[in-house]
Amino acid sequence: MGRAPSTSGSSSELFDLDLEGAIELIKKSGARTVGVQVPEGLKRIAPDLAGEIEEKTGCEVIVSGDPCYGACDVDLDLCRAADLVIHVGHSEMLEGDRLFDKVVYVEARMRADVREAVERAADLLSARRVGVVTTVQHVHKLQDILEGLKGRGIEGVLRPGRRTRYSGQVLGCNYEAARNADVDEYLFVGTGQFHPLGVALATRKRVVAADPVTGSVSVIDIGPMLKRRYGAIARAGDAERIAVIVSKKPGQRRMDLARRMMSLGEEQGKRMVLVYLDRMEPDALVNLGVDAAVSTACPRIALDDQAKYPVPLLTPPEFEVLLGLRKGDYLLDEIE
């Protein structure tokens, strides 16, 4: 495991990348042209990575200049242009297409020590048996987390999910590993509030979040998120012309679901339009002149980025609420 090439002041200094393994694979494969795809938070290391791969393998390297948000977001054009593609930062997800066979995943592992944050989080946990969940950046710290909990007399439970590579790993679009734990309380270790909010919405159980970078711990409150989401549903109530968005990204493409949303809207007299796009941007909706949109793409777009959009952006379960077809607890949109 080598250090990520240093780019002064960038977040890359927080991560380790196993580039050596990828370089060995490139050499063995006989590839002449190698693509490199790097997520936005690590983009600044792409030139250094390209240089290192060129130097150590003699291959031509092409860096994807397009944004990359997850393992769902493999650059298929780059796969066509290159013999192998190094996809940095995410764990393997896609299979079943000849192009995906070209993709080598190089996960980014955060160096941050989790023990202090877990120690603080243990003070907030009330159950003696808790589900432990994290993102791929911290999966190598899961044993430290379990041991930290054990030291406080708490059993940590790890379970797998089908869309994720590691037990205990969650994605912004999938919380199966959390649901499978079948516990009354969760500890999420990682950065940001989106994933622990997702765990709480997906399980409806108490979630304590511990951030190993800032050391902060908190109990997740889903109230503000639910208020925002029901607000968006209410604002979409008067919409006459509604777009149903389908992403071209291979791990987000849910055409069948989109067609079902089209039919449900049309049955209720809405003017529906099916829109296929690679990158969801506010301007795309403005230019289409729609009053609202249903996004079948990455659920984070509607849940995290609504403020950027001039019209309400609903997830498929939220659209069903709008149409009066879904009652009861809020259902989080997940991709299986």
CB 207 within 8 A of CB 219: yes
> Hey, what are 271's tokens?
């003017």
Site string for ligand SF4, 146-185 (x = CB under 6 A): -------------------------xxx------------
The smaller minimum CB distance to ligand SF4, of residues 70 and 148, is found at 70
Does residue 298 touch ligand SF4 according to CB under 6 A?
yes
How many angstroms separate the CA atoms of 254 and 165, rounded?
Answer: 21
Instruction: Give the SS3 label for residue 175.
Output: coil
Mention every residue, 6+ apart, whose C-beta is less than 8 A from residue 115.
144, 148
> Hey, what are 11's tokens?
């977040």
Tokens 């780059």 found at: 78
Does residue 70 touch ligand SF4 according to CB under 6 A?
yes
> Hey, what are 114's tokens?
């989790």
> Hey, what are 91's tokens?
């764990």
Does residue 201 touch ligand SF4 according to CB under 6 A?
no
Does residue 300 touch ligand SF4 according to CB under 6 A?
yes
Does residue 202 touch ligand SF4 according to CB under 6 A?
no
Site string for ligand SF4, 21-60 (x = CB under 6 A): ----------------------------------------
How many angstroms separate the CA atoms of 248 and 244, rounded?
Answer: 13
Q: Taking each helix axis from N to C terminus, what angle separates 142-150 and 115-124, rounded to the nearest 10 degrees? A: 50
Tell the smallest beta-carbon distance from residue 173 to ligand SF4 (Å).
3
Does residue 306 touch ligand SF4 according to CB under 6 A?
no
Tell the smallest beta-carbon distance from residue 108 to ligand SF4 (Å).
14
CB 268 within 8 A of CB 261: no
Does residue 319 touch ligand SF4 according to CB under 6 A?
no
**Residue range at the interface with ligand SF4 (CB under 6 A); choices 34-42, 68-76, 226-234, 317-325:** 68-76
Does residue 72 touch ligand SF4 according to CB under 6 A?
yes
Residues between 225 and 284 with contacts to ligand SF4, criterion CB under 6 A: 251-252
Does residue 105 touch ligand SF4 according to CB under 6 A?
no
**Residue range at the interface with ligand SF4 (CB under 6 A); choices 11-19, 35-43, 65-73, 321-329:** 65-73
Tell the smallest beta-carbon distance from residue 203 to ligand SF4 (Å).
17
Does residue 197 touch ligand SF4 according to CB under 6 A?
no
DSSP string, 259-274: HHHHHHHHHTT-EEEE
Kindly list the strands in the beta sheet with 185-189, ordered across the sheet, starting from the edge strand earlier in the chain. Answer: 155-157, 129-134, 185-189, 206-210, 217-219
Q: Which residues bind ligand SF4 (CB under 6 A)?
A: 69-73, 171-173, 251-252, 298, 300, 335
